[in-house]
C-alpha cells in the first residue's frame, strides 16, 4: 500500500467520522494515553471496555449517601440500595431483547452460570448429555464439567463438543440434535464466540434444541452490548453474561442473567438466597423461601452498590443510544476494517471471523502466519500506540467498538499494519 493510498484512506476516515451520528459518545469515555500523552487506538473493548466519565460522579454519590445516611441509605439514598438492581430492569432488558422481569444484574458470569445449570440441568439416565461449542472459554468448560461430575457423569462420555478452532457449523449442530437430541439434556453455546468472533444464529439453534426436547442456554459474554438480540422472542431458556466488556462497567463488574418468562413463575429448583425471596415478606424473615417472580428470584444477596454504580452509568448510556444505532455503526466500522485489511498486500495474518456481517459483531480475529511471532507483532502494535489482544497460540483480536472507536482509529490500525 502506497503513501498516497494511505492518505486517501485517511481522508475517507476523517469524512466518515464527521458524518458519524454517534461521534459525540466518544467524549463520554476516557481514552487511554501513551507515555507521550497521546491517545492510543484502543481496539480491546472485547476484553475490557473503557471507563465512562460519569462513573466517578456515580461512585461519589453512593459514598456521600453512605457517609450521611449509613444504614438508612437502603431506603433514603438518591438511588435506594434496597431496590438497586431494579435500576437495570429496562436498560439491561433492552440490551439483550428481553422483557424487564426476565433480566437481573447480579453476581458474576460464572456464578450465574452455576446457578442456571443448577436449575436447568436435570439429567435422567437416558437424557443426561450436555452439548457445548468449541472453542469454549475455559471458565464455561470448567463449570460444565463440574456439573457433570456432581452428577457422577464422565465428561468423556457425556460432554459433546461441536465446532473447530475456526468455525461452528450450524448445519452440523442441527443434524447432531436431530440425530442424538434424545440423549442431550442441555445445549449451552456462546452467542458470539470469544476466540473467532462468530455470531451464532441463536434463534435457529434454540429452535433446533427445543425440537429435540433440550433446554437451551447461552453465554453472551461477547454478545451483550455488541450485537442485537431478542432473547424473549427467540425463546431462549436462560442466558448469562458479563458487563465489563462491551458494557463498559469496569474490571470484574457484576454479571447479567436472563430467565425466560415461562420459567419465572413455577417452582423450578434453585440455589436460594434471601434477596431472591419475595420482597414483600423478605424482612419478615420467613423460614420458607418463596422466590419472587422473574429472574430476580435467582438473586442470592443484596446488590454490591459501589460496583453496580459504574454498571448503572454504562447501562444508562446504552439506554439512550440504543442497540439499533450501535449496530448500524458497528457494521460500517467493522466492514471498513475487514475490507482494508483484505486489500493489504503480504498480510501477516488471515481473518478467521465470518465474512458475512450478519454472522459477526465488531470483533475480527486474525490468525498470524506461522513464520511470524504473534507476540512480537503485538509488541510492534504497542509501539505504534495500538491496543489489541492475543490469544494463544496465534490469534490477535481486534475490536472497533462503535461507542468510542472511530473510523480514524481503524485507519491508524491499517497504517500500522502497512508500515510493519
Walk along the chain (420 residues) and give the pLDDT tens digit of each residue: 788 889 999 999 999 999 999 999 999 999 999 999 999 999 999 999 999 999 999 999 999 999 999 999 999 999 999 999 999 999 999 999 999 999 999 999 999 999 999 999 999 999 999 999 999 999 999 999 999 999 999 999 999 999 987 899 999 999 999 999 999 999 999 999 999 999 999 999 999 999 999 999 999 999 999 999 999 999 999 999 999 999 999 999 999 999 999 998 877 899 999 999 988 888 899 999 989 999 999 999 999 999 999 999 999 999 999 999 999 999 999 999 999 999 998 888 999 999 999 999 999 999 999 999 999 999 999 999 999 999 999 999 999 999 999 999 999 999 999 988
Q: Where are the alpha helices (DSSP H) in 121-199?
A: 138-150, 155-158, 170-180
Assess contact for 371 and 289: CB atoms under 8 A: no
Measured from the Cβ of residue 163, the count of other Cβ atoms closer than 10 Å reads: 22
Residues 97 and 218: their CA atoms lie apart, in Å, by 14
Domain 59-320: which CATH class? alpha beta
CB atoms within 10 A of CB 273: 16
- Distance separating alpha carbons of residues 376 and 125, to the nearest angstrom: 51
Q: Record the pTM.
A: 0.96
What architecture is domain 3-30+322-419?
Alpha-Beta Complex (3.90)
Residues of the chain with CATH 3.40.640.10: 59-320
Residue 82 grid coordinates:
434496597
Domain with CATH 3.90.1150.10 in the chain: 3-30+322-419
Amino acid at each position: 500500500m502506497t503513501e498516497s493510498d494511505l492518505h486517501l484512506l485517511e481522508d475517507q476516515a476523517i469524512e466518515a467520522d464527521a458524518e458519524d451520528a454517534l461521534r459525540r459518545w466518544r467524549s463520554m469515555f476516557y481514552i487511554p494515553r501513551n507515555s507521550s500523552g497521546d491517545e492510543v487506538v484502543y481496539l480491546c473493548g472485547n476484553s475490557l471496555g473503557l471507563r465512562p466519565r460519569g462513573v466517578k460522579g456515580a461512585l461519589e454519590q453512593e459514598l456521600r449517601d453512605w457517609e450521611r445516611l449509613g444504614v438508612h441509605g437502603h431506603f433514603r439514598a438518591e438511588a435506594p440500595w434496597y431496590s438497586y438492581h431494579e435500576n437495570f430492569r429496562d436498560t439491561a432488558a433492552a440490551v439483550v431483547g428481553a422483557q424487564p422481569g426476565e433480566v437481573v444484574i447480579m453476581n458474576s458470569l460464572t456464578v450465574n452460570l452455576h446457578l442456571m445449570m443448577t436449575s436447568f440441568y436435570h439429567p435422567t439416565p437416558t437424557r443426561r448429555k450436555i452439548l457445548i461449542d468449541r472453542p469454549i472459554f475455559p471458565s464455561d468448560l470448567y463449570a460444565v464439567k463440574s456439573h457433570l461430575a456432581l452428577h457422577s457423569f464422565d465428561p468423556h462420555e457425556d460432554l459433546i463438543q461441536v465446532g473447530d478452532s475456526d468455525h461452528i457449523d450450524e448445519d452440523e449442530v442441527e443434524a447432531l440434535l436431530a440425530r442424538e437430541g434424545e440423549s442431550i439434556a442441555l445445549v449451552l453455546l456462546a452467542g458470539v464466540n470469544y476466540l473467532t468472533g462468530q455470531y451464532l444464529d441463536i434463534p435457529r439453534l434454540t429452535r433446533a434444541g427445543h425440537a429435540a426436547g433440550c433446554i437451551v442456554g447461552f453465554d453472551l459474554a461477547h454478545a451483550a452490548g455488541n450485537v442485537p438480540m431478542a432473547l424473549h422472542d427467540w425463546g431462549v431458556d436462560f442466558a448469562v453474561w458479563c458487563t465489563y466488556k462491551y458494557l463498559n462497567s469496569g474490571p470484574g463488574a457484576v454479571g447479567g442473567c436472563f430467565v425466560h418468562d415461562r420459567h419465572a413463575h413455577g417452582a423450578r429448583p434453585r440455589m436460594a438466597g434471601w434477596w431472591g425471596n419475595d420482597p414483600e415478606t423478605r424482612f419478615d424473615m420467613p423460614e420458607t423461601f418463596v422466590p419472587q417472580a422473574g429472574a430476580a428470584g435467582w438473586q442470592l444477596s443484596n446488590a454490591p452498590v459501589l460496583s453496580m454504580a459504574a454498571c448503572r452509568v454504562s447501562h444508562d448510556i446504552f439506554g439512550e443510544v440504543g442497540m439499533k444505532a450501535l449496530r448500524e455503526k458497528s457494521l460500517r466500522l467493522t466492514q471498513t476494517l475487514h475490507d482494508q485489511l483484505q486489500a493489504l498486500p503480504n498480510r501477516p495474518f488471515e481473518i478467521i471471523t465470518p465474512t458475512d456481517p450478519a454472522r459477526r459483531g465488531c470483533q475480527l480475529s486474525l490468525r498470524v502466519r506461522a513464520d511470524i511471532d504473534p507476540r512480537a507483532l503485538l509488541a510492534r502494535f504497542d509501539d505504534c500506540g495500538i491496543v489489541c489482544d492475543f490469544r494463544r497460540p496465534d490469534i490477535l483480536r481486534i475490536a472497533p467498538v462503535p461507542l468510542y472507536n472511530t473510523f480514524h482509529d481503524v485507519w491508524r490500525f491499517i497504517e500500522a499494519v502497512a508500515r510493519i
